[in-house]
Structures are given as structure tokens and as C-alpha cells.
Amino acid sequence: MTGSHLDSQPKGGKYDGAYGVVGGFEALEAIERAGIETRRPIELVAWTNEEGGRYQPGVMGSGVFVGDMNFEAQLDILDRDGVRLGDALAETLASTPGIARRSFGFPIASYVEAHIEQGPRLENENKTIGVVTGIQGMCWYIVEISGDEAHAGTAPLRSRRDAAKAAVSMVSALEELTADETDTVRFTVGRFEVGPGSPNTVPGSALFSIDLRHPEARVLEKLMAEIEPVCRANARGCDVSVRRPMNTPPIVFNSTMVDVVRRQAGALGIPAMDMPSGAGHDAGYVSRVAPTAMIFVPCAKGLSHNEAESATPSDLAAGAATLAACLVELADKG
Ligand SMILES: [Zn+2]
């Protein structure tokens, strides 16, 4: 099986997802035109709602397919305008008559998904194919700090419990903790709030988020074990609570499958490099039920989730050619 998704972000580009579906069709047509017969059928999939832009959560089609999400429950989810997913889905199906219905969870011998990289590594390294070794792990934390509100003019610094300064100390210490010469750790504080938010009151409360990612479970777990102790050590007399609302461990793709992509790109003479995926994909869910691999192609300046998303025809063709070669090998094998 090959494919990807066709939905996008509110201001997304035209390659994220769509390339894996259109590229999959190209590969199937090329295989048919070449008169190649395979022992196994090759199926193309367009997973529903990977991005989660209109209906949350995302990665829904593959999540339902592998049995991690309940189908009926997803149908009742509403978009911002109150449209039920079940109704939107029925409309989509009605507009594409003649497509045979498939059951969820049918066995898949192997799955290969082509996708734009959505990052700058291939472009920087002057490579055309990213041989994706897995999907990096990701966890989220919410750190809440409470101190004491006080008068900014009269309260001596020594006796203050300043939640904002504690939060700043924590973020600095966490930045030191996650410092990485190889630039592989991804540490982001995307939300930072201070209360009550008045210039002449010492802040009594603060909250910040942490998004932490790494492709290796060992490294990620080591860092995760330090998050709360580092926050507590930098609390400056304030109370701290640390929650972890999300923890998705890293995924390592089947090494035989990764080798197929590496070998076929090599056989076609296309410059390739191994790399983990920084973003999540349907392939992550599918890898739970079938040997899985991904093929990345470069996108201009690594830009994605942006209308300016772009990729060159020759790179896209190289990715589709690699995909076709992988599909032929995988569908033929006994
Ligand atoms: Zn995508």
C-alpha cells in the first residue's frame, strides 16, 4: 500500500500530503505502463483528516484504520461551523462514486508513504531522497508556578515570590539542559503567561508550555526525567506543578523496509541520506500494523504549513520513481 493524505492546514501548501497521493498514482501508472505484474496487489490510500486543521484530533483516518480511534465517535466531531464529520464525509464519498469501500484494519503486507520533508535538511545537504528511519518522539508539558502578588514599589526583592522570574529561570535552565551540539533535540516554549499582568504588581502566577522532541527514546527519556527536577531547582521559593498532557514515544521504522528505500534510491542513482522525520505522519500509525517506510523529497527552504510551500518537478519525479521501484520490489516478494 502507498498513499498519504489530501487535507491541509488552513493556510497550508499544495504538497504536504497531496504529493504522497498524486505521487502514488504516478507510481501505479508507471508500473502499469511498464507492463509489470506483481504477485501482491498495490493499493493507494488517501487517509482522512491527517492535519486536524478542520476536525480535531488529526491523523484520524490511519488512527481509525489501526484501531486506535473509534470510528463512530469520530463521525460526531464538529468543525468550527458545526458541520458533523460524518456529514462532510458522506458528501465527499458521494462526490467520488465508483470507489470500492474497504474495511478498516485489513492486513497490509507493507506500506510506503512519499512526502515532502517539511524541513531544510535535504536542501542543505544537497540530497534528493530522504530515507526516513522513523518518526521522532514528542512530549508536551505544562508548568504552572504560583508565588505571591506584591507591590512593585514597596516589597523588598529578597522577600518576594516572583512567579515570572522563577519561570524565566526555569526556561533558561531547561535551555541549558536541552543544549545539543548536534542540533537534534527540539525544545520549544510556545506559550508563556504571567498573572495578573500589571506593570506595578509582582507576578503571583506564571504558566509556560514545553514541546520536547527527539528521535531516540533513550535520549528523550533521559531529558524527560530531568524536566520536573530542573523546574523545582529554579522555583525561587515559588510553588510549582508540572503536568505532561502528551507523550508520543519515537517510532523506528522496520529496518528491512528502510533498506528497500535506501537500495532502490541507490539503484536509480539518486542522492539519498538517512534521516528521522521531525513531523508526525499517517505512516506512524500504519507502522503499528505493517512494516512501514517513508520517502522524503526536498521542499524549498524547508517551508511547510505555509502557502509558499514548494518543490521542484525533478525532485518530485525522483521521489515517485523511487516509490515505484520500492512498490515493485515489495509487491513481488514472496
Ligand atoms: Zn502531511
Query: Among the listed ranges 91-105, 106-120, 162-176, 216-230, which one has the minimum average pLDDT value?
Result: 91-105
In angstroms, what is the span from residue 104 Cα to ligand 1's centroid? Answer: 21
Q: Tell me the pTM.
A: 0.86
Q: Compute the distance between CA of residue 6 and CA of residue 15 in angstroms, rounded to an integer.
A: 9
Residue 303 has pLDDT above 60, yes or no: yes
| Tens of pLDDT, residues 98-125 | 888 889 999 999 999 999 999 999 999 9
Q: If you measure from the C-alpha of residue 118 to the centroid of ligand 1, how many angstroms do you get, rounded to a whole number?
A: 8
Predicted confidence at residue 1, as pLDDT, reads 98
For residue 246, the model assigns a pLDDT of 87
CB half-sphere exposure, 14, CA atoms < 13 A: 6
Q: Are 333 and 312 in contact (CB under 8 A)?
A: no
At residue 334, the pLDDT reads 46
Query: Distance, CA 136 to ligand 1 centroid (Å)?
Result: 15
Nearest in space to 303 (alpha carbons), one of 113, 53, 122, 63 = 122
CA of residue 30 to ligand 1 center, whole Å: 24
Q: How far apart are CA 118 and CA 125, in angstroms?
A: 14
Is it the case that residue 159 has pLDDT exceeding 80?
A: yes
CA of 283 to the centre of ligand 1 (A): 10
What is the tens place of the pLDDT at every residue in 226-281?
A: 999 999 999 999 999 999 988 989 999 999 999 999 999 999 999 999 999 999 99
| CA count, 13 A, side-chain hemisphere, 123 | 14
Distance from Cα 145 to the centre of ligand 1, integer Å: 36
Whether residue 40 is predicted with pLDDT greater than 50 in this model: the reply is yes
